[in-house]
Every structure is written in C-alpha cells, then in structure tokens.
Structure 1
Amino acid sequence: MLGGSGGMLIAYSDLLLVQCPKCMSCAKIFTPNNAKDKDGPSYLGHESKRLLCVKCGYTKDIHPKRRWDNHWAFSHELYDEKQGVDWYFGLPLYLQTQCCGHKLWFFNYEHLIDIENYIKKRVRPSGLYYLSVESRLPKWMKLSKNRGDVLKAITKLKCL
C-alpha cells in the first residue's frame, strides 16, 4: 500500500491539495525541483515546499533552516493536520467534507484511495501496525455501521 515510510501519514507529504488563499480553488503544495540544498541530507517532511495555484497563479515558498544541531527544520511549528489543514502553510485541505458528524479529510487522491481501499475491506489486519495510517484512523471511520456513509463521502470527494 505505502512505500518507504512504513505506512505513516508523512508518506503523503510530497503533494498536499489545499484551498488557495486567494481564489479558494485547489492549490498544490509540493517539493520544488529547485529546493534549497536539494542535494544535502533530506528529512522527510522537512524539505522546501512550494504552494502553487494553477487557476490564479498564486505562489509562495517556505524553506527549512539549519538548526543548531545541524538538522533541517522549519522556523515555525508545523500545523496540526487533525484540524483539516496542511502542515506547512496552515491552509484548509481541499479534500474534506463532513461525515457522520465529523470532519473527513485527505492530503491528496492517493491518500483518499488508500483509505477507501482499507474501509472497503470486510476483514482488516489485526497485527502490530501501530505506526500505519490505518491504525491512526478515528474509530468512527472504522466502524462497520459507518462504512456506507464514509464510502459515500469518499465518492463525493473523488469528484472534486
């Protein structure tokens, strides 16, 4: 399902879909090719990021700085994704909707599809997967009584 990050949420941080702060359309947050110190040591999630709206042309960059311990980090605290915002700029995620009295959100379409596939499963893994994205899903999403509503909400978001 997920690659080199052991199934953790940060595996989806290469592309985040957010609402453009200027026109409210779908904007992208990604790691630009001309990122500062691109060839230096990379820490997943702590690379330079660019916000770009294809519709209105809005763009903004954010760069990590080298800390006292020689690691790269952003000068501000990263935002809490549980609020339905991206980590870097604090903008609302584009793929979000209300479902079962809760906010349902996804970083991008790959994240959405992976969670959809997990929700569709009738038998789910029960092993030690405590670092995986699936293990961190809220209980209301995993309940079989909410499966239909969650899948309906995901289908709605796939059309955006």
Structure 2
Amino acid sequence: MTDRHTDHGAPLARFAGAILVVCPRCGGRATVAQRPGLPELRYAMELLFRPRRLVCAGCGATDDWEAERRGSALIGVTLGGTEDPYFGRPLWLQVRCAGHVLWAYDADHVDALAAYVGARLRERGPASPTTAMVPRLPRWMTAADRRTEVLAALAALRAQAARTSPEDRSDVAHERADRPRPRRSSYHRGGPY
C-alpha cells in the first residue's frame, strides 16, 4: 500500500493489449492479443479496432477477430464488463468482492487498480474523466471502508493471473449469456464521426 497515487488519465484501453480469458475448448487460461506483424500503435484507443487472435497455450485453440466494416467505417469493440469484448469469452481474472464481481484484463491492470485502491491520498491529473479509467471505477471499489476487502480480492486476482489450468478457473469465470453490448466504437477513415 502506498501513501499517494496520482492518476495520469490512463484509459482502460491501455490494459487491453493482452486480455486473459477462459479458453473455449479446454476451459484453461487463453490470451486475446493483437495479431503479430501489425504496425506500432499510435494511440491506446486503436486497440478497439485492431485484429485480434485468441490463443490457448494449454490445448492449442486459436481464433481470429477483425473489426466489422460498414462502408468506410470500422466498428470496434466497447471495453468493460466480465467478458472480453472481442470474442465474448469470460475473463480469466474475476473474483467475488463486496457483493459484486471484481475483474481485470491482465496482471498490469490488477496492479494499476491496487495502486489506486491502496493509496491513502488519491490525486487526479489533468486528463479528461471521460477517457480515464480511474474516475469511472465504481464507488463500492474505491470506498475507504472497503479498501482491505478490495485489496484482498486484487491479491487473489494477481495470484490467479499466474495459473493456467481449467481446475484453477474462478467460480465466477463461467459461461453465462452476459447482456450484449449494443454500442460499438466506430472509426471512419476520413476521421471520427
């Protein structure tokens, strides 16, 4: 736990580079990442539109995703929730906490959440709260009286990130028809809409 945390406005997309998910074939840990060989990112938000590949090191399962095209527009994904936005797979990193489900995309995401939740003094930087992850965290997660409980759950997620077998899967990381996310991000080649 630290005394101070300054939010520099990192968007949730910053943690969507490699998302740990439940494998559709074996139920172990798989990873959803950018396809290899793509040019360097200029902005984290580009991850919403980039081609992805799901790969399971345990059973060898693979799958590919590409953004939908409508005319000259690319229709990307909307981040957030207990399923990965590309393939709809349950996130590997989920745990029950304070009557809710606490989730993260990967170990870096867990560490960023723990740094904020564990800080006694939380400062916001100049970034816009509409794109920054920290200002959008739910109140139950950031409340001082829940700090110990949330930090314990984040420690459990950190340990979960290192596990890979189907038997290690969290009891909340299961198949469920989570509500569809009707809104998608879009990018028009001539510029944003």
TM range (shorter): 0.7 to 0.9
1:51 partnered with 2:54:
yes
Is 2:97–2:149's contact at 8 Å kept on the other side of the alignment? Answer: yes
Conserved? CA contact 2:13–2:79, under 8 Å: no
1:104 corresponds, among 102, 105, 109, to 102
- Answer 1 or 2: higher relative contact order, Cα 8 Å, separation at least 6: 2
**Correspondence for 2:73 among 62, 71, 74:** 71
Aligned to 1:137: 137
The runs of at least 4 consecutive aligned structure 1 residues that moved more than 4 Å come to: 126-129
Conserved? CA contact 1:79–1:89, under 8 Å: no
State the AA in 1 paired with 2:49.
H
Following the alignment from structure 1 to structure 2, what is the Cα–Cα distance between the partners of residues 2 and 28?
27
Shift of 1:71: 3.4
**SS at structure 1 position matched to 2:54:** strand
Number of the residue aligned with 2:80: 81
Contact 2:7 2:134 in 1 (8 A): no
Going from structure 1 to structure 2, the CA distance change for 1:143 and 1:124 (only over 3 Å counts) comes to same
Q: Kindly state the Cα deviation for residue 21 of structure 1 after the two structures are TM-superposed.
A: 1.2
The CA deviation at 1:67 is 3.1
Contact 1:79 1:90 in 2 (8 A): no
Spell out, residue by residue over 1:14-37, the C-alpha distance to the aligned partner (whole angstroms, 9 max, x if none).
1100011111111000011145xx
Q: Per the alignment, in what secondary structure is the counterpart of residue 10 of structure 2?
A: coil
- CA–CA distance in structure 1, aligned partners of residues 7 and 106 of structure 2: 14
Structure 2 letter corresponding to 1:116: A
What SS class does the counterpart of residue 50 from structure 1 fall into?
A: strand
**Residues 81-136 of structure 1, C-alpha deviation per residue, up to 9 Å, x if partnerless?**
32x00110111100110000000000111111001000110011156651311111
Classify 1:23/1:121 alpha carbon distance in 2 versus 1 (closer, same or farther; 3 Å).
Answer: same
Task: From the superposition, tell whether residues 2 and 128 of structure 1 become closer, same or farther in structure 2 (CA, over 3 Å).
Answer: closer
Displacement of 1:73 after TM fit?
2.8
- Of the structure 1 ranges 17-26 and 123-132, higher mean CA displacement relative to structure 2 is found in 123-132
Unmatched tracts of structure 1, length 5 or more: none
Number of aligned positions between the proteins: 150
